[in-house]
Amino acid sequence: MTSSPELVDNQTHGLVCAHHHLYSALARGMPAPPKTPTGFVEILEQVWWRLDRALDEDTIYWSAKLGALEALESGCTAVIDHHESPNAIDGSLSIIADACAEVGVRVSCSYGVTDRHGAEGAKQGLAENDRFLSEGGRGYVGIHAAFTCSDDTLAAAADIAKRHGVGVHIHVAEGEADAGAADRIRDLTNHKWLLVHGVHLADDHGLEGTIVHNPRSNMNNQVGYARPTRFTNPTGLGTDGIGADMFDEFRIAYVKLREHDVTETPDTAAGMLATNTTLFREVEQDRITWNYRPVDPWRLAFTPAVRPSRIERDGVVIYDAGTFVDIDADEIRAKAAEAALRLFAKLDEIA
């Protein structure tokens, strides 16, 4: 918002979601877990780690396509995605990249490696990151989180990233279960890494990289507040899979900051969106015209439901007056809804 001085009034460049899980787009409406989770790790075990096991190539495709469509509708033209589908690993990142390309959303992909499914599962995840990057895909090497990985897996992921000249995209100290993450990865990180959450990091954690703050997700999982202003690292903003409406997440980031420190201003949260832009510079070629003016942090913080009225990608109008120019959005939504029913049926079979 403030990073491109030529953009004024009711226009900005494209927004970036610095941490997304496109595979969660079909999760809305999913059957309730067998028992009510009472904490963060139980939420992972009973909701997300069942969902990711139920994903196949078809549901990966339709969740990515629906998630990308909804990102664009919110003026988000670039998504940094973190993916896991332990029963459909090979080729999964290309399915996501293709689905996003078909909608017109820029994407950076990563497969979140983990030892949750044994050493073979970790190996397949590492290989998928390597394959995708070797074939010229844009991305990071993904790691689920240190607490579900062996030291060997962490080191192998860091090595692959170094070889490809990219960073590692990893959840760090999101919950107390991962509070020891910093000690495990301190010797591996560099400025290209994306350190997601950081809720339970010490102020002087010593990790290099960009921290990605996800305030709504953190509240939803009751993991605590990251207090992101205490870090010296650059800090961006993600949704952790709850859509890609970055103005909405900006408002939540602001009001949470304000709850913590009443002297805070929306400029701090706007600075996180500006950090996001540095992670995906191509969005500066995209121009969003908003249905509200002026797009200014203080006004935005108190104006819900600001939406794009027009989107230009690389100089081409792809969305105008609330309608996509070349995409049949109704068809994508209908097919994604059918895929969601197949996913829910599969979920019912997973204990």
Q: Does 249 bind Zn ion (CB under 5 A)?
A: no
Q: Which is nearer to Zn ion, 240 or 312 (CB)?
A: 240
CA–CA distances in Å: residue 327 to residues 61, 107, 332: 16, 18, 9
Distance CA 145, CA 200 (A): 13
Q: Which is nearer to Zn ion, 22 or 72 (CB)?
A: 22
Per-residue DSSP letter, 48: I
Report, in Å, the least distance between residue 104 CB and Zn ion.
Answer: 24
Distance CA 116, CA 330 (A): 37
Q: Which residues contact 300 (CB under 8 A, 6 or more apart)?
A: 1, 247, 250, 251, 266, 270, 292, 306
Q: Does 240 bind Zn ion (CB under 5 A)?
A: yes
Distance CA 109, CA 185 (A): 21
- 8 Å CB contact between 207 and 185: yes
Report, in Å, the least distance between residue 196 CB and Zn ion.
Answer: 6
Q: Which is nearer to Zn ion, 65 or 83 (CB)?
A: 83
Binding mask 188-227 for Zn ion (x = CB under 5 A): ----------------------------------------
Report, in Å, the least distance between residue 243 CB and Zn ion.
Answer: 13
Q: By beta-carbon distance, which residue lies closest to Zn ion?
A: 240
Report, in Å, the least distance between residue 240 CB and Zn ion.
Answer: 4
User: Which stretch, 153-161, 232-240, 261-269, 273-281, contacts Zn ion (CB under 5 A)?
Assistant: 232-240
Q: Which is nearer to Zn ion, 240 or 245 (CB)?
A: 240
Three-state DSSP state, 316:
strand
User: Which stretch, 37-45, 117-125, 159-167, 235-243, contacts Zn ion (CB under 5 A)?
Assistant: 235-243
Report, in Å, the least distance between residue 323 CB and Zn ion.
Answer: 31
Report, in Å, the least distance between residue 208 CB and Zn ion.
Answer: 20
Q: Which is nearer to Zn ion, 73 or 240 (CB)?
A: 240
Distance CA 144, CA 148 (A): 7
User: Which stretch, 2-10, 88-96, 237-245, 305-313, contacts Zn ion (CB under 5 A)?
Assistant: 237-245
Q: Which is nearer to Zn ion, 178 or 240 (CB)?
A: 240
According to CB under 5 A, which residues from 164 to 183 bind Zn ion? none
Q: If phi over 0 gives left and psi between -120 and 50 gives alpha, with beta otherwise, what is residue 323?
A: beta
Q: Which is nearer to Zn ion, 128 or 240 (CB)?
A: 240
Q: Which residues contact 93 (CB under 8 A, 6 or more apart)?
A: 83, 109, 110, 111, 128, 129, 131, 132, 137, 139
Q: Which is nearer to Zn ion, 145 or 295 (CB)?
A: 145
Q: Which two tokens stand for residue 55?
A: 């994903």
Burial class (CB in 10 A: 0-12, 13-18, 19+), 286: buried
- 8 Å CB contact between 23 and 60: yes
Report, in Å, the least distance between residue 49 CB and Zn ion.
Answer: 13
Report, in Å, the least distance between residue 114 CB and Zn ion.
Answer: 13
Distance CA 268, CA 253 (A): 9
User: Which stretch, 60-68, 69-77, 239-247, 330-338, contacts Zn ion (CB under 5 A)?
Assistant: 239-247
Q: Which is nearer to Zn ion, 115 or 240 (CB)?
A: 240
User: Which stretch, 96-104, 116-124, 238-246, 262-270, contacts Zn ion (CB under 5 A)?
Assistant: 238-246
Distance CA 183, CA 163 (A): 23
Binding site for Zn ion (CB under 5 A): 240
